[in-house]
Amino acid sequence: MNESSIRYNGWRIVAVCFVVATFGWAFGFYGQSVYLAELHRLYGWPASLISAATTSFYLFGALLVVFVGETVRRFGPRNCLLAGTSAMAVAVVLMGQASQPWQLYFADAVLAVGWAGTSLAMISNTLGLWFDRKRGMAISLALNGASFGGIAGVPLLVIAIGRFGFAHAMMVAAAVMVVLVMPVVLLFVGPPPSHASAGLAAADDAPSSSEIRARAFRDIGFLSVSIAFALVLFAQVGFIVHLIAFLDPVIGRSSATVAIAMLTAMAVVGRVLFSTVIDRLNQRLASALSFVSQALALAVIVNFDNDMVLIAACAVFGFSVGNLITLPSLIVQREFEARSFGVLISLLTAITQVTYAFGPGVIGALRDLSGSYTLPFYCCIALELVAAAFVTIRGKLA
């Protein structure tokens, strides 16, 4: 059936991936800022210690993400999504029970397994089995769930923690995830369409995954987009993880929650608006402009302490957050062979994740050393501007 038809079965898979992304980002990405603030409040652990656990989460997850493409091919998207959801739920419970640093690190290790099975690489590979011409739009729409996870997930999690306590709130959150996600995956995610099956069969004649990776590391275009998004996500992830901890003493917990909700709401607005025109734009230039807009918003956040100004700056920053998750997939789809998409997007995701894994830890360490967030946030501004220059560099496969 035509991918443009609303009755095409692939759009059900988009809806499933939206739900998966909602919980994956709520607990695996945006939730890290909640864990940092809450564990610091409960146990007085330094920001650098908690941030280092977040770094270990991203690093371990990056090792797993490299093989997501092959895993989906071997076990099928349904089994992979179910496994990722299960691991995420277990990790959320463990996070709530952590009362010693080693327990936090163990919870983050399990969370990394869940993140690999519910985040960008998994969703992109899954939707790649159902979509070709409309792949960019499908991925963009599904990843609105990532922003919705911040809009709804973080405020609800903060409210639940205030009412039930950290441990009980995390158990409730895990139960909700299992009840909502598992049945949806079981009901709607079946075998991919025939053209995808034929493509998988034809993959035997295509270059091996290891060969595709080796060629990618000799490709200037692939390296430039990887480096650019690695740098900007280092800054973005580090900033978002520390956002509540930064805003809390400046404008209070309730206003800080509004700010992060506004940030993620604007991420949805930005992604939806971009999805209607992104195929007609220079995607690298759009990326560079997004990086610069984040740098300007960060400059405002560092230099002002007014509630409305900070919330507005977070909104400007958030406008491009969603697109920075989507744009790498669209650039890879446009500039590389379709048969390499799954391997390359998994590799790019792993590269960026290895890099931005250090964002929260480095920013936490700089904050502890300098006594404030001014220095680390100015470093983020510099990285955003360097990334804007890198992403405009294109090249051909060696």
Side chain identity, residue 325: I
pLDDT of residue 368: 86
Identify the CATH homologous superfamily for domain 10-390.
Answer: MFS general substrate transporter like domains (1.20.1250.20)
The b/e string for 255-282 (b: 16+ C-beta within 10 A; e otherwise) is: ebbbbbbbbbbbbbebbeebbeebeeee
pLDDT for residue 353: 82
Give the separation between CA 12 and CA 7, rounded to whole angstroms: 9
**Quick one: angle between helices 47-65 and 341-356, nearest 10?**
160
Ramachandran region, residue 76 (left: φ > 0; alpha: ψ -120 to 50; beta: rest): left
| pLDDT tens-place string over residues 1-29 | 576 677 788 889 999 999 999 999 899 88
Residues of the chain with pLDDT under 70: 1, 3-4, 194-206, 278-279, 395-398
Single pTM value for the model: 0.77
User: What is residue 372's three-state secondary structure?
Assistant: coil
Extended strands (E) in the chain: none
Report angle CA 362, 365, 367 to the nearest 5 degrees.
110
d(C-alpha 196, C-alpha 192), whole Å: 6
Sorted by where each begins, the domain ranges of the chain are: 10-390
